[in-house]
Amino acid sequence: MTDILDVDLLAFEGGTDTARRAVVSGVMESLKSGFVFTQHDLSSDLLDTAYGMLQQFFELPLDDKALAAAPGTHGQTGYTGLLVETAAVSDVPDWKEMLNWGRQMSEGHPLRRKYPSRYPDQVLPEAQVPGITEVLSQFHERVLDLQRRFLRIIAVGIGCHESFFDKMTIDGTTLTRAIHYPAMQQAPDTTHVWAAEHADINLITALPRASAKGLQVRLDTGVWVDATPPDDGVIINTGIMLEHITNGLVPSGWHRVVADPDHTGDRYSVVQFCHPTPWTILDAVPSCITPDNPQRFAPIESGDRLDEVVYEINLIEDARRVE
């Protein structure tokens, strides 16, 4: 059984060679479960401000929240209501509502010209919560910076140069998502959970903070354990695209969000899904292919793999898998 370890990103960046090696070793060991905790340098003031504004938004009447919806963007920006996103392994929608955003891409950028559906105009509830656009944009950039720095540890751990992931994540389709999980007592029936078990599609995901327990991780033994980071620690988990690139050496982190039986209220969290550019070819790096671990996955374009998962999790508005 692999425990979720606590490592220090800053020790990798500013420590001795011995300290750097220890961080890499700890990360690779912990990621056998798909999860690791890390110390960080995110501003607590920024986190407080962003989470406060987001709670203010989610407490608005539904009609006001719906003004921030962005039809046709498949959950890549704007508001998504309750009982829409559905885990790929489930036919019961999750009991959650979401606000999604990323970086605004210029119209002339070649990525936006080639993949217009991947880079929609950002929709945020500025009219409902004045000042939220600037705060959430800053939040997005700061967490993305942390994720790209953390990917350098993983790059070293899989035998690549530490800059391996740098270029593929510049102007990628990284998505930040604020999630409100209402009290389970308000759910339509007992078949619903906050979020059914799933693996994320991206490279890695960062969760800086949650307002209540609920996140659980499936270890390699099949046992579910609570993911409870140290105070002020960020949770990092791995996604399907990283599993593909590492030929399974780093598996996807399977997880779910369920209400603690003793918790009667709601829950807020913000996660960021770090994506490569959609034209990145997901292919196993040579260092992860061995006679004992032959290549498992055929190459596929990142954008195509994302399309598959967006459909599976029920976010294609005109082709809902679950109604």
Distance CA 287, CA 43 (A): 36
Region 21-45 average pLDDT: 96
DSSP letter (8 states) at residue 69? B
Percent of the chain whose predicted confidence (pLDDT) is above 90: 86
Region 35-45 average pLDDT: 95
Average pLDDT, the chain: 94
Percent of the chain whose predicted confidence (pLDDT) is above 70: 98
What DSSP assignment string belongs to 247-301?
TTSS----EEE---TT--S-EEEEEEEE---TT-EE---GGG-BTTB---S--EE
Q: For residue 179, what are the β-bridge partners?
A: 98, 269
The answer, yes or no, to whether residue 220 has pLDDT greater than 90, is no
List pLDDT tens digits, range 87-125: 998 999 999 999 999 999 999 999 999 999 899 999 999
The answer, yes or no, to whether residue 22 has pLDDT greater than 80, is yes
Asked if residue 273 lies in contact with residue 246, where contact means CB atoms within 8 angstroms, the answer is no
pLDDT on residue 156: 98
The answer, yes or no, to whether residue 1 has pLDDT greater than 60, is no
pLDDT on residue 262: 82
Cα–Cα distances in angstroms (integers) from residue 153 to residues 131, 207, 247, 318, in the given order: 35, 18, 17, 40
pLDDT on residue 11: 96
Distance CA 299, CA 244 (A): 8
List pLDDT tens digits, range 230-252: 888 999 999 999 999 999 999 99
Looking at per-residue pLDDT, the higher value among 230 and 59 belongs to 59
List pLDDT tens digits, range 126-171: 999 999 999 999 999 999 999 999 999 999 999 999 999 999 999 9
pLDDT on residue 313: 86
Looking at per-residue pLDDT, the higher value among 261 and 32 belongs to 32
Region 196-204 average pLDDT: 96
**Would you state the torsion angle of the CA atoms of residues 111, 113, 116, 122, taken in this order, to the nearest 10 degrees?**
70
pLDDT on residue 310: 86
CATH class of 6-312: mainly beta
